[in-house]
Amino acid sequence: MSTLVEKIKSVEDEMARTQKNKATSAHLGMLKAKLAKFKRELITPKSGGGGAGEGFDVAKTGDARIGFVGFPSVGKSTLLSNLAGVYSEVAAYEFTTLTTVPGVIRYKGAKIQLLDLPGIIEGAKDGKGRGRQVIAVARTCKLIFIVLDVLKPLGDKAIIEHELEGFGIRLNKQPPNITFKKKDKGGINLTTVVAQSELDLNAVKQILSEYRIANADIILKEDATCDDLIDVIEGNRIYVPCIYVLNKIDQISIEELDLVYKIPHCVPLSAHHKWNFDDLLERMWDYLKLTRIYTKPKGQLPDFNAPVVLKDNDKTIEAFCNNLHKSILKDLKYALVWGSSVKYQPQRVGKEHELCDEDIVQIIKKH
């Protein structure tokens, strides 16, 4: 493993030595591709041998999963226990050194699992300890909270971001608008829809040669960088929203707090005094983009206590039926919907209909 870490170090050193200009951009692109390959090998070693080891698995519960990342002594545990204690139905879990599941909070009808990811910083990048498994858990989170000390936020923020970026987790970014398609023959075709400031045919060829790809069609639909192209070729990048939680605001002045509030994706709070938790939970809800759907049995009032929570972008009646039970869809005749997604109250819709948050649905089955 040390040889791979040494290789990564040598490539990073060469990148630091290389001047950035138009002439060296292709070479830098090739080095970045090499670095991405080494890092991928570090996370997923080629050999399938070795013992199974102890299980490092956190059972997924609830509708969404949030990972807490941060250095020791930034008040992460206080924040977790206070959040889980205030808004939780489950608070007492056994803590282990590597995984802490302090609880499941209920917020606006949705169950949200909170996970502490301790070993993510200490040597995870070099494949030490359980770093790799911790990263695997981090990649399954729907949202990441980076907990920082408000007195020294920027240095810690840069280290943590660098660590996560190295493992293919992209924070608060959209996937690059690049179409990449391998083919059997015909060389490399590069089509640019907008003017490019960094990538040209030579740079693209250099990056692809590192992956031993000689034939491909590439369409750049935005001003892309070398990193964007490498992300698309690697194809294993996870795009996760992230909130920076700046803790210990009781130690700074009001003027400094006004400045802190201008940082994007950031929520200042005090975990010890439980200040500003409502703002954090509101921001969390916005970033998770969950859709709550209430069920209405025939001839009864809607059940507002236990909504069906739809995740991701699939908010159709079909997804709603599958969430309840797989067999419902084949018996579905139509659905009646009340709410903001329909024009009439109620309206008869089919399985392709897209639902909005807090709609009420009644399923009508075939007889």
Q: In what order do the strands lie in the sheet with 88-90?
A: 88-90, 100-107, 110-116, 64-69, 143-149, 242-247, 266-268
pLDDT band for 158, please (50, 70, 90 cuts): confident
What is the spatial distance between Cα 99 and Cα 83, in angstroms, rounded to a whole number? Answer: 17
pLDDT band for 214, please (50, 70, 90 cuts): confident
**pLDDT tens across 234-274, in order?**
887 888 889 988 888 888 778 777 777 788 888 888 877 87
pLDDT of residue 54: 47
pTM of the model: 0.76
pLDDT band for 132, please (50, 70, 90 cuts): low
Q: In the predicted model, what is the mean pLDDT of residues 295-304?
A: 86
- DSSP H or E segment with residue 190: strand 188-192
What is the spatial distance between Cα 32 and Cα 23, in angstroms, rounded to a whole number? Answer: 16
Whether the link from the prior residue into 45 is cis, omega within 30° of 0, is: no
Residue 295: closest CA among 363, 201, 367: 363
pLDDT of residue 257: 77
Taken in order 220, 225, 228, 233, the sign of the CA dihedral is positive
Residue 340: how many other CB atoms lie within 10 Å: 10
Q: What is the DSSP letter of 45?
A: -
**pLDDT tens across 4-37, in order?**
777 777 888 887 888 877 777 778 888 888 887 7
What is the β-pairing status of strands 64-69 and 88-90?
A: unpaired
Contact 271, 79 (CB under 8 A): yes
Q: Which residue has the higher pLDDT, 255 or 283?
A: 283
For 30, phi and psi rounded to 5 degrees? -65, -40
Q: In the predicted model, what is the mean pLDDT of residues 174-193?
A: 86
Contact 280, 86 (CB under 8 A): no
Angle between helices 131-139 and 25-43 (to 10 degrees): 100
pLDDT of residue 308: 87
What is the spatial distance between Cα 352 and Cα 341, in angstroms, rounded to a whole number? Answer: 12
Share of the chain above pLDDT 90, in %: 1
pLDDT band for 121, please (50, 70, 90 cuts): low
Residue 173: closest CA among 236, 237, 241: 241
pLDDT band for 125, please (50, 70, 90 cuts): low
pLDDT of residue 331: 84
Residue 293: closest CA among 363, 355, 206: 355
Contact 213, 182 (CB under 8 A): yes
> CB burial class (10 A; 0-12, 13-18, 19+) of residue 59?
exposed
Pick the most confident of 41-55, 82-96, 121-135, 154-168: 154-168
CA distances from 121 to 39, 84, 116, 234 (A): 16, 23, 12, 23
Residue 247: closest CA among 359, 106, 363, 145: 145
